[in-house]
Chain A
Amino acid sequence: MSTSYFEHDADIGIIGRGLTIEQSFEAAAHAAFAIMTDLEAVHPVDAVIIDFDEPDVELALVVWLNQIFGKAREFGMVFSHFYIRRDGDHWHGKILGEKWREGLERGVEVKGATLTMLSVKQIGPIWESRCVVDV
């Protein structure tokens, strides 16, 4: 898995890559949360489950990311480990992290994933998921 970023005038483009669609989704979530803090410092002590149905794989990326951002705000948490599995149109995820605490670096809040420059595609053996996130 790997992550990188691309340019957008006002916000930030994120890219997640992996050997499967699911891995690319996990990497995209990693890219987004790395904007908010140093993920190496986050203790993956609490888990949150994410479940949703979405037949469109590109919209599934947006829903996946936005569900995580929503849970982060709902529980006052920051996440560093991301796992997702697909079963037909159903997506099941597990994310791990901790509550925000003193000592965690404060980056910039990512408020949500958008449909801008949204794509999920296979390039050779690698799946690549990308979109612009709103900060």
Chain B
Amino acid sequence: MNIQQLRQLHPYLWTLPKTAIEKRAEVLLYGNQLLLESMDDKVLEQIANVAALPGLAGAAMTMPDAHWGYGFPIGGVAAFDAEQGGIVSAGGVGFDISCGIRFLRSNLNLHDAVPLLNRLADRLFAAIPAGVGEEGHIRLNPDQLDRVLLGGAQWAVKQGYGNAEDLGYIEENGCVNGAIPEYVSDLAKKRQHGEMGTLGSGNHYLEVQLVERIYDQAAAQAFGLHEGQLVISIHCGSRGLGHQIGTDYLVMLAKAASRLGIRLPDRELACAPIKSPEGRQYLGAMNAAINCALANRQILTHLTRETFAEIFPQAALETLFDISHNTCKLESHQIDGKTRNLYVHRKGATRAFAPGHAKLPLRYRDAGQPVIIGGSMGTGSYVLAGSITNRAFASCSHGAGRAMSRNQALKRWDGRRLIQELLQQGILIRTRSMRGAAEEAPGAYKDVDQVAAITEQAGLARRVAFLRPKVCIKG
């Protein structure tokens, strides 16, 4: 990105000045010069387009890990007020609706587990359906699937996947209100037929990680983390169902825009007024997809626990937190001293409630919401906590962000060789796709240390711990 066109407001906050003829709200970009310069110019174009959408409250923002997305940039945050003609955008949520991370803490330490890590990797790879062409073991009839879409992780717990204690540590207690399965197409439902309890492909993963460094002892204690401990991250979303909902509504809303009086600078920004029938339909379907993702991660949590129990009979895996990245949620936020109910779009961004927020579990009320910034399979990830200094509708970064395209990565790395190199570093990779491994090479991602540090310095969230990958199951 050419940052000459930006104006720096603070060391880690920039804005795009408006020209005399531009009719849009403010654009704010979080990051330092290095991260902003590494972004494609499309990020700026896309967030400026978002700032021109009707009913935007405050500014349209990008997080430090932003990159070129679909209509909205990935790492984009925008809040809309239904009472001011605000819109809901399928492009602003993304295709993999409620893609997110289930984060589990274990009572195991690395030194106890090292002799059995190879076996653990093999068993996890056998137990977790991952990658193109792989199906789950759960088959649901249409009525059962509708119950998943209404019940989310709560449905999964009722079926015996995981336990009730998990639910308190999932956003919205594992089930969002407002899901309307009738607004989900038959094709979307059919796509989910073999996909409940599957990890997926691309950048999705299940990792066993070592807590290598603690930054914030008090928050770490609240989260139940200590150095040397093993934790697990499960990164996946609403699978085929969510993607089909995104596709169905993108096309439908793109066609409806002119009839609804909305001028779209980019068709992928397809949206409808929140109060319109089209807007309500999309919200009903999107909430159904969120519940699908929450149920999926709950099932995968159960499969992970079963596998750990085979290898480590004494293992206890507790849900530390479950976060979603691609959502639109109705939340209360302060703007200019007034509390407003806003539909907050987070596209490739994480909710990060500050300490004291009423929606946080009591255990984390003083520390702030746990947040994970997922890195590559060769570098590491960060646990952070929500901060009272956050001015981005309680949002922060969600990952390292890609530094190069998949095509470029494929030309530069060989999957088999890369897996051997990571093995030399003590990281066990299990995948059926050598192409996928090459595309996900650590060098294809931005520096996660930089993203996490800037996220903290920008006041979006506080670093709590650094996690080093030990076992990675890739699709």
Contact = CB atoms under 8 A, between A and B. Distances in A.
Contact of A118 (B40, B95, B244, B267): B267
B132 A59 contact: no
Nearest to A110: B132
A37 interface: yes
Interface string B218-254: 0000000000000000000000100110110011001
Given A5-B407, A74-B190, A109 B201 contact: yes
B74 A70 contact: no
13 contacts: A9-B402, A10-B74, A35-B435, A70-B240, A73-B190, A73-B191, A73-B194, A74-B190, A106-B133, A106-B432, A109-B475, A112-B243, A115-B270
Contacts of A95: none
B95 A106 contact: no
Given A111-B95, A111-B96, A74 B193 contact: yes
B370 to A, nearest CB: 25
A109 B203 CA distance: 11
A108 B202 contact: yes
Given A36-B132, A115-B250, 20 more contacts: A8-B68, A9-B405, A11-B406, A56-B255, A59-B251, A69-B240, A70-B190, A73-B195, A74-B187, A78-B133, A100-B133, A100-B134, A108-B435, A109-B133, A109-B201, A109-B475, A112-B243, A134-B243, A135-B201, A135-B202
Interface string B455-475: 000000000000000000001
A126 interface: no
B152 interface: no
B15 to A, nearest CB: 22
Nearest to B187: A70
Interface residues of A, number: 38
Main secondary structure of the interface of B (DSSP, over half): mixed
B17 to A, nearest CB: 25
B440 to A, nearest CB: 9
A12 interface: yes
B334 interface: no
B351 interface: no
Nearest to A74: B190
Interface residues on chain B, size class: 35 or more
B39 to A, nearest CB: 9
A7 B131 contact: no
Given A76-B194, A132-B70, A135-B201, A107 B254 contact: no
A113 interface: yes
Nearest to A113: B247
The 6 closest A-B pairs by CB, nearest first: A100-B133, A109-B201, A109-B132, A9-B68, A106-B432, A74-B190
Contact of A12 (B133, B188, B407): B407
A63 interface: yes
A122 interface: no
Interface string B395-414: 00000001001111000000
Interface string A58-78: 010011001101100110101
Contact of A116 (B70, B187, B436): B70
A78 B131 CA distance: 13
A56 B256 CA distance: 13
Contacts of A108: 132, 201-202, 406, 433, 435-436, 439
A116 B188 CA distance: 21
Interface of A: 5, 7-12, 35-37, 56, 59, 62-63, 66-67, 69-70, 73-74, 76, 78, 100, 104, 106-109, 111-116, 118, 132, 134-135
Contacts of A9: 40, 42, 67-69, 74, 402, 405
A73 B201 CA distance: 13
Given A9-B67, A73-B194, A112-B244, A106 B131 contact: yes
B92 to A, nearest CB: 13
A66 B244 CA distance: 8
B247 A62 contact: yes
In this complex, the member of A56, A70, A107, A108 whose beta carbon has the largest number of chain B beta carbons within 10 angstroms is A108
A36 B195 CA distance: 17
Interface in B187-215: 187-188, 190-191, 193-195, 200-202
B135 interface: yes
A59 B187 contact: no
Contacts of A114: 70, 95, 247, 250, 268
A110 to B, nearest CB: 8
A6 to B, nearest CB: 8
B260 to A, nearest CB: 17
A67 B240 CA distance: 12
Contacts of A62: 247, 251
